[in-house]
Amino acid sequence: MPAQQNTPLVSPAKALQKVIAEQRSGRLQIQDINDPSIGWRVYFGAGQIHFAESTMGCGDRLRYILRKHSLGLEGLPTPADATSDYPLLCQYWQAHNLPLNNFRKLLAICTQEALIQFLAIAQSHIAFEATIGLDPLLLSVPFRQLILPVRDHIGQWAQIRADLTSPFQRIFIHDREQFLKFVWQEAEKWQQLQGISHDPAEATCLYDLAHQLGIDVLELAAGLQPLCRSGVLGVQPYQVITQEAQPVIACVDDSATIQQFVKLSLESSGYEVLSLQDPTEAIPHLVERQPLVILMDIEMPKIDGYELCRMVRQVDELKEVPVVMLTGRDGIIDRVRARMSGCTAYLTKPFNPQDLLAQVQKLATEPVVSV
């Protein structure tokens, strides 16, 4: 859930309670900060819970749940690339004309399993979307009714998270010698260790391993936790997330207040802000980072903005980079001096975040044209 990465950290339990107390309708999305490849979503209507699921790994999770509870859907297709449980379950229910009561029970079980996992998270990135709903809507249950039977599991998973973030994490044998020693000493636990690979590239997630062994995933995680903590078993994320490089915008300004304002205005829109407060040291950093746009104050100590802009235009690697002057001066002479120094655009203080963002977005995608 990349859109949530710039949101503040929030307790999922408190966010859930707030949505329920305000009787809101929509969808809450939760991203695990300890493993960004793992996410959860929960659907609400008037404060009632309609469904909860994972945002990835649907096949692994569903296969485990269906085998554990034996509700007559063992033949349900669970494609590896599925990103939502709900349409898969509804299509199977409609195609096979399954009893509605049994199907609602399965929806509740899937929801409980998801609630356990994300309520065990202390803090996460959370986003709420007010217009998202389910079609068809088949479940509407008070939160208390769902959570009371499984609340002890939440506390147990919260303790396990120090070593195993969630049942989606993949494990493999990291220390072969110590692993064999453990198996020799604890032969009765061999069942839980079958199916674990020595190859990190073939590491198995806990949901899949629990499905293969036919045991509860919480029991499995609790049994493997000491081995993970001691380093006998290695732990990997469910998926490796490749972070795309954020476009860089440089801000050369000796004012910490302006630097903070620029960061708040641009970082939430996916830009990385390179803050440079000493204009005498700016050029090497600008050459190294190659920003899309350079924001520059005119009134700075040692070197003013006009002189620094001229210096930028003399550097081959920077001469085509748009330069925006940030200044409280708005006279015709100031604009002429800015043009002669080679600046591209001019923003007069005070300006609002929307104006700054619009100017940056415009210049980041257009050729350099001086003011």
**Domain range holding 338?**
248-364
Residue 203 lies in a domain: yes
If asked whether residues 270 and 131 sit together in one domain, one would say no
Taking only the tens place, the pLDDT of each residue in 56-69 is: 888 889 889 988 88
The span from the CA of 292 to the CA of 318, in Å, is: 10
Torsion angle, CA of 155/160/165/166, rounded to 10 degrees? -70
Q: Can you tell me the mean pLDDT for 258-270?
A: 86
The model's pTM is: 0.65
Contact 206, 167 (CB under 8 A): yes
Query: Looking at residue 88, what is its pLDDT?
Result: 85
- Total domains in the chain come to 3
Query: Looking at residue 3, what is its pLDDT?
Result: 40
Under DSSP, the state recorded for 232 is S
Higher pLDDT, 97 or 370: 97
Pairing of strands 39-45, 48-54: antiparallel
**Where a domain ends, among 103, 127, 160?**
160
Q: Can you tell me the mean pLDDT for 288-310?
A: 90
Model confidence band, residue 267 (pLDDT cutoffs 50, 70, 90) = confident
If asked whether residues 299 and 212 sit together in one domain, one would say no
Contact 57, 205 (CB under 8 A): yes
Higher pLDDT, 68 or 366: 68
Query: Looking at residue 83, what is its pLDDT?
Result: 78
Nearest of 255, 239, 252 to residue 205 by alpha carbon: 239
The span from the CA of 287 to the CA of 190, in Å, is: 58
If asked whether residues 145 and 187 sit together in one domain, one would say no
Q: Tell the burial category of 217 from Cβ atoms under 10 Å away from its Cβ (0-12, 13-18, 19+).
A: buried
Cβ within 8 Å of residue 18, ≥6 positions away? none
The helix/strand/coil state of 255 is: coil
Model confidence band, residue 221 (pLDDT cutoffs 50, 70, 90) = very high
If asked whether residues 8 and 155 sit together in one domain, one would say yes
Residue 191 lies in a domain: yes
Residue 216 lies in a domain: yes
Query: Looking at residue 4, what is its pLDDT?
Result: 46
In this predicted structure, the answer to whether residue 370 has a pLDDT above a threshold of 50 is no
The span from the CA of 49 to the CA of 108, in Å, is: 9
If asked whether residues 153 and 294 sit together in one domain, one would say no
If asked whether residues 127 and 12 sit together in one domain, one would say yes
**Where a domain ends, among 236, 257, 287?**
236
If asked whether residues 263 and 220 sit together in one domain, one would say no
CATH of the domain at 262: 3.40.50.2300
Contact 196, 171 (CB under 8 A): yes
Taking only the tens place, the pLDDT of each residue in 27-86 is: 999 988 888 888 999 999 988 999 999 998 888 898 899 888 876 566 667 666 677 889
If asked whether residues 155 and 268 sit together in one domain, one would say no
Query: Looking at residue 321, what is its pLDDT?
Result: 92
How many other β-carbons are positioned within 10 Å of the β-carbon of residue 95?
A: 9
If asked whether residues 133 and 187 sit together in one domain, one would say no
Q: Tell the burial category of 77 from Cβ atoms under 10 Å away from its Cβ (0-12, 13-18, 19+).
A: exposed
Helices (H), the chain: 12-21, 58-69, 85-96, 100-119, 143-147, 151-160, 176-185, 190-193, 206-213, 217-230, 256-266, 282-289, 305-313, 332-341, 353-364
How many other β-carbons are positioned within 10 Å of the β-carbon of residue 102?
A: 12
Higher pLDDT, 177 or 186: 177
Query: Looking at residue 369, what is its pLDDT?
Result: 43
If asked whether residues 94 and 131 sit together in one domain, one would say yes
In this predicted structure, the answer to whether residue 239 has a pLDDT above a threshold of 90 is no
- Amino acid identity at 313: R
Taking only the tens place, the pLDDT of each residue in 116-160 is: 999 999 999 888 888 778 889 999 999 999 999 999 999 999 999
Torsion angle, CA of 294/299/303/309, rounded to 10 degrees? 30
**Could you give the angle at the alpha carbon of 181 between the alpha carbons of 180 and 186, nearest 5°?**
100
Task: Return mean pLDDT, the chain.
Answer: 86
Q: Element (H or E) spanning 201, and its range?
A: none
If asked whether residues 49 and 184 sit together in one domain, one would say no
Model confidence band, residue 241 (pLDDT cutoffs 50, 70, 90) = low
In this predicted structure, the answer to whether residue 341 has a pLDDT above a threshold of 50 is yes
If asked whether residues 112 and 13 sit together in one domain, one would say yes
